[in-house]
Structure 1
């Protein structure tokens, strides 16, 4: 695995989250369970990022892994070539 994360998909991934529940976002892009970690990062410098929902609502997790607002999408996918 390289130092750069794999682009899992070029668009954000909408997820209905539940208040108080924690989610572990895949930062490496290798997980088969996007946008969540499945342990594919093991042996690399990547680690999942914990996100705890503050309310029940829809959030958009970053799929391109380029966001500056991890784990949520900040629109960085619009700049991908």
Structure 2
């Protein structure tokens, strides 16, 4: 992927905090990852808005069903990890 050098302005306290946390990727990598994450969240919000316009809002029951399915998947993954840890 091509990259481009830009100039940004951040508060001194934020820069100091970032510098305390960065590893080999450095400040530029940290900020690029943060920007990529924000871009992904913005795209998800846009998609959610389009879906809501087309299909209407998600009901409480639909939201709970989705959360229940995610919890079931998490439990299955935990069980698989537990079994693989026991075999090792």
Do they superpose with TM above 0.5? no
Normalised by the shorter chain, which TM-score bucket? Answer: under 0.3
Larger Rg: 2
Higher relative contact order (CA 8 A, sep 6+): 1
More helix per residue = 2
> What is the TM-score with the length of structure 1 in the denominator?
0.21
More strand per residue = 1
